[in-house]
């Protein structure tokens, strides 16, 4: 009874917008911020129920990532720090679209019964709330708080302004019983970075001759501010941050990883004076990272070093450590480590070729980090990246345990063997790189220390392979879901005949590759084409667009 009146009272303050149907897509709910208070309130309820169901701390992040500043969004972090379990997504949709408080109450009752959630008033639930720098964030955070606390026994912890990966990291840490403040996050990153720096082979530490700083575009969002805080804890690495939220520029407007990757243009705040420098760009909530090199002269063009190349760099480094690890070791000391990489169809074909040439197992999943993450988790070390710069490296529990045991034996004072150093490095990577989601800040630190380890400039890194020219287009159609795909979105199965037509078109171009799929975040069908020249990629994309239209 208490529960019923609590819910009816609080939900009457949050009426859903008229005539809008919201859906929990690959990145949670996203819309113009003015449409969202009721949705965020209801996600608060959902998070509290999820916490009761799992007996764990749950996270709610308020952000619309790389989208424009007037948009906002909300998504849930599950107990392990990953995305909300997919089988709860339909319930999220139903809750968000319930037309009245009575409907809402009915839905909740049904769901609680179906999932066997204990609402005895004794069970405790805890939800961590975070938001990015969007002006609409504080009111929406308040709505989330109201939602959570409308469930009896549920409490909120407001973690303030955070990057998305920080919030996910905190949820994961809390559920592992580890301290989970921002300070703890910074300390874990900086200490594991220091460990990797200390293990850089001396003959390779000629980094001083290279440019010793990285210049980072913070997309006028939260990432820049946090990176400055983190940077103060680092001793060797120099990070210059531009386009931080406190600099007054508009979030994601002509800046940020999405802009840099899609437009292949210099972001605001960068210019020809930065030509040849090692530059990087974060997105609005700092879960994407790309690097770039400004071309000389004032063309505004850049050489993009995208998620695929970050993946390739990580794969090379890890493969090298694994070979040291098992070199000259008896069977007893060998760990049969399964290394796998995961990409989507948007990965540049040249990157896939390169990874296969290295002898790596390359797997493909549909677009959306939850799919990549799930696949990567099947390996002892799984590296996944979307071309747009979202990705991370996952380590299996059993490998971490093995590495911990292996490195415990290293007696202090004596010189560690190559195999022992490799084990120490891998362990440090597992602590540095975010195990919950892709994280631009930890990704940046790992890129930087690997470049130092290799003694490589960004140019050397960029030369690992040459991207095939590509072109991405979007088509507005009456019903994007009429396009149904299979094989990790590379083949259209419906409407009939479309794939055959795409094949016929693609066959006309040397090194041609083309696929179409409905977007999960926008009301469009996306067309992606690759070919041996930029012009050919453009023509192929254009002609396939006409087939879809």
CB of residue 369 vs ligand NG1: minimum separation in angstroms? 7
By beta-carbon proximity to ligand NG1, the closer residue of 73 and 340 is: 73
Picked from Zn ion, ligand NG1, none, the partner binding residue 457 (CB below 5 to 8 A depending on kind) is none
217 part of the interface to ligand NG1, by CB under 6 A: no
Query: Does 526 show up as a binding residue in the annotation?
Result: yes
User: By C-alpha distance, which of 444, 530, 543, 463 is closest to 502?
Assistant: 543
Helices then strands, counting H and E runs in the chain, come out as: 18, 19
Beta bridge partners of 304: 292
Q: Is residue 283 at the binding interface for Zn ion, with CB under 5 A as the rule?
A: yes
Please report the sign of the dihedral spanned by the C-alpha atoms of residue 92, residue 98, residue 101, residue 107.
negative
Q: How far is the CB of 335 from ligand NG1 (least distance, A)?
A: 33
Nearer to Zn ion, 71 or 283 (CB): 283
How buried is residue 520: exposed, middle or buried, by Cβ count under 10 Å (0-12/13-18/19+)? middle
Per CB under 6 A, the list member of 53, 226, 309, 390 interacting with ligand NG1 is 390
Distance CA 6, CA 104 (A): 12
**Residue 439 engages Zn ion in binding (rule: CB under 5 A):** no
Report the residue closest to Zn ion, judged by CB.
65
Q: Which is nearer to ligand NG1, 254 or 520 (CB)?
A: 520
Residue from 520, 538, 542, 545 touching ligand NG1 (CB under 6 A): that is 520
505 touches which of Zn ion, ligand NG1, none (CB within 5 to 8 A by kind)?
none
Q: Token pair of 34, please?
A: 């003015």
Binding mask 45-84 for ligand NG1 (x = CB under 6 A): --------------------x-------------------
Q: Is 281 in the site for Zn ion (CB under 5 A)?
A: no
Q: Which stretch binds ligand NG1 (CB under 6 A): 231-239, 247-255, 438-446, 517-525?
A: 517-525
Strands 125-131 and 57-62: parallel
CB-based contact 127:158 (threshold 8 Å): no
* Dist. CA 158–CA 160, nearest whole Å: 5
Q: Which is nearer to ligand NG1, 111 or 371 (CB)?
A: 371
Nearer residue to ligand NG1 within complex by CB, 38 or 388: 388
* Binds Zn ion (CB under 5 A): choice among 71, 78, 89, 285: 285
DSSP character at residue 469 = P
Interface residue with ligand NG1, options 128, 316, 526, 529 (CB under 6 A): 526
The site map against ligand NG1 for 287-326 (x = CB under 6 A) is ----------------------------------------
Residue 57: strand pairing partners: 126
Cα separation, 145 vs 137, in Å, equals 12
User: Mask 472-511, x = binds ligand NG1 (CB under 6 A)?
Assistant: ----------------------------------------
Asked if 392 interacts with ligand NG1 (CB under 6 A), we say no
Cβ atoms of 200 and 206 within 8 Å: the answer is no
**DSSP summary character for residue 209:** G
Q: Which of the stretches 197-205, 206-214, 320-328, 382-390 binds ligand NG1 when contact is defined by CB under 6 A?
A: 382-390
Say whether 352 counts as a known binding-site residue. no
Neighbours of 198 (CB within 10 A): 12
Q: Show contacts of 314-320: CB within 8 Å, 24+ apart.
A: 314/383, 314/393, 314/446, 314/450, 315/339, 315/341, 315/355, 315/358, 315/360, 315/383, 316/358, 316/464, 317/450, 317/453, 317/454, 318/381, 318/383, 318/393, 318/426, 318/429, 319/358, 319/360, 320/422
> Which position's Cβ is nearest ligand NG1?
520
Q: Which does residue 285 touch among ligand NG1, Zn ion, none (CB within 5 to 8 A, set by kind)?
A: Zn ion
71 binds Zn ion (CB under 5 A): no
Instruction: Say if residue 388 carries a ligand binding annotation.
Output: yes
Burial of 519 from C-beta contacts in 10 A (0-12 / 13-18 / 19+): middle
Angle at 268 between CA 281 and CA 132, to 5 degrees: 55
Distances (CA, A) of 362 to 121, 324, 380: 49, 22, 14
Instruction: Enumerate residues 337-366 that contact ligand NG1 by CB under 6 A.
Output: 346
Contact partner at residue 58 from ligand NG1, Zn ion, none, CB < 5 to 8 Å by partner kind: none
Number of residues that bind ligand NG1 (CB under 6 A): 13
The total of other beta-carbon atoms located within 10 Å of residue 110's CB is 12
Catalytic residue among 10, 65, 136, 244: 65
Annotation says 150 is catalytic: no
Sole residue written with tokens 């420098």: 277
Q: What gap in Å lies between CA 544 and CA 542, rounded to an integer?
A: 5
Q: Which of 451-477 are b and which e, b meaning 16 or more Cβ less than 10 Å from the residue's Cβ?
A: bbbbbbbbeebbebbebbbbbebebee
Residues in the chain: 549
Site string for Zn ion, 227-266 (x = CB under 5 A): ----------------------------------------
Confirm or deny that 380 is annotated as ligand binding.
no
Q: Residues 17-36: x/- map of binding to ligand NG1 (CB under 6 A)? A: ---------xx---------
* Residue 489 interacting with Zn ion (CB under 5 A): no
Select 51 or 485, whichever has its Cβ closest to ligand NG1: 485
Our CB check for Zn ion shows the closer of 52 and 433 to be: 433
| Catalytic residue annotation | 65
Contact residues: ligand NG1, CB under 6 A = 26-27, 65, 346, 367, 386, 388, 390, 519-522, 526
Residues in contact with Zn ion by CB under 5 A are 65, 283, 285, 287
- Residues making up the annotated binding site are 65, 283, 285, 287, 386-388, 517-521, 526
């Amino acid at each position: 009874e208490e529960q019923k009146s609590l819910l009816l009272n609080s939900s009457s303050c949050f009426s859903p917008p008229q005539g809008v149907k919201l859906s929990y897509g690959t990145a949670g709910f996203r819309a113009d911020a003015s449409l969202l208070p009721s949705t965020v309130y209801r996600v608060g309820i959902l998070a509290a129920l999820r916490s009761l169901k799992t007996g764990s701390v749950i996270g709610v992040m308020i952000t619309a990532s790389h989208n424009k500043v007037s948009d906002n969004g909300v998504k849930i972090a599950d107990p392990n720090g990953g995305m909300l379990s997919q089988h709860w997504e339909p319930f999220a949709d139903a809750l968000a679209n319930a037309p009245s408080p009575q409907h809402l109450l009915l839905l909740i009752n049904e769901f609680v019964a179906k999932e066997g959630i204990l609402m005895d008033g004794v069970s405790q639930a805890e939800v961590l709330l975070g938001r990015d720098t969007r002006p609409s964030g504080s009111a929406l955070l308040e709505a989330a708080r109201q939602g959570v606390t409308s469930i009896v026994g549920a409490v909120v912890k407001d973690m303030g302004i955070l990057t998305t990966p920080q919030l996910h990291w905190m949820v994961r840490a809390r559920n592992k019983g580890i301290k989970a403040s921002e300070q703890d996050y910074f300390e874990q990153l900086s200490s594991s970075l220091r460990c990797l720096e200390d293990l850089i082979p001396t003959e390779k530490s000629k980094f001083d001759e290279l440019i010793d700083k990285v210049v980072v575009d913070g997309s006028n969002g939260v990432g820049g501010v946090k990176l400055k805080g983190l940077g103060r804890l680092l001793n060797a690495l120099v990070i210059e941050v531009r386009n931080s939220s406190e600099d007054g520029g508009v979030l994601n407007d002509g800046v940020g990883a999405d802009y840099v990757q899609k437009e292949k243009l210099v972001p605001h705040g960068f210019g020809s004076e930065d030509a040849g420098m090692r530059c990087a760009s974060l997105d609005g909530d700092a879960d994407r990272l790309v690097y770039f090199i400004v071309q000389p002269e004032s063309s505004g063009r850049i050489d993009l070093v995208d998620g695929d190349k970050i993946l390739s760099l990580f794969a090379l480094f890890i493969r090298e450590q694994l070979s040291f690890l098992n070199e000259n070791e008896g069977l007893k000391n060998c760990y049969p480590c399964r290394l796998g990489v995961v990409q989507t169809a948007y990965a540049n074909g040249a990157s896939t070729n390169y990874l296969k040439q290295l002898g790596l197992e390359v797997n493909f999943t549909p677009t959306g980090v939850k799919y990549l993450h799930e696949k990567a988790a099947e390996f002892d070390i799984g590296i996944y990246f979307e071309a747009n710069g979202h990705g991370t490296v996952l380590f299996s529990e059993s490998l971490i345990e093995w590495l911990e045991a292996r490195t415990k034996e290293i007696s202090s004072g004596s010189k560690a063997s190559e195999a022992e150093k490799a084990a120490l490095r891998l362990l440090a990577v597992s602590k540095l790189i975010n195990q919950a989601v892709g994280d631009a800040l930890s990704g940046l630190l790992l890129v930087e220390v690997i470049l130092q380890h290799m003694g490589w400039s960004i140019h050397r890194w960029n030369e690992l392979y040459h991207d095939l020219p590509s072109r991405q287009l979007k088509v507005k159609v009456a019903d994007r879901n009429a396009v149904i795909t299979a094989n990790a979105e590379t083949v259209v199965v419906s409407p009939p005949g479309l794939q055959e037509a795409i094949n016929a078109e693609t066959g006309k171009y040397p090194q041609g590759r083309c696929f179409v799929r409905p977007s999960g975040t926008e009301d469009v069908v996306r067309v992606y084409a690759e070919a041996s020249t930029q012009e050919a990629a453009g023509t192929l994309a254009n002609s396939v667009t006409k087939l879809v239209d």
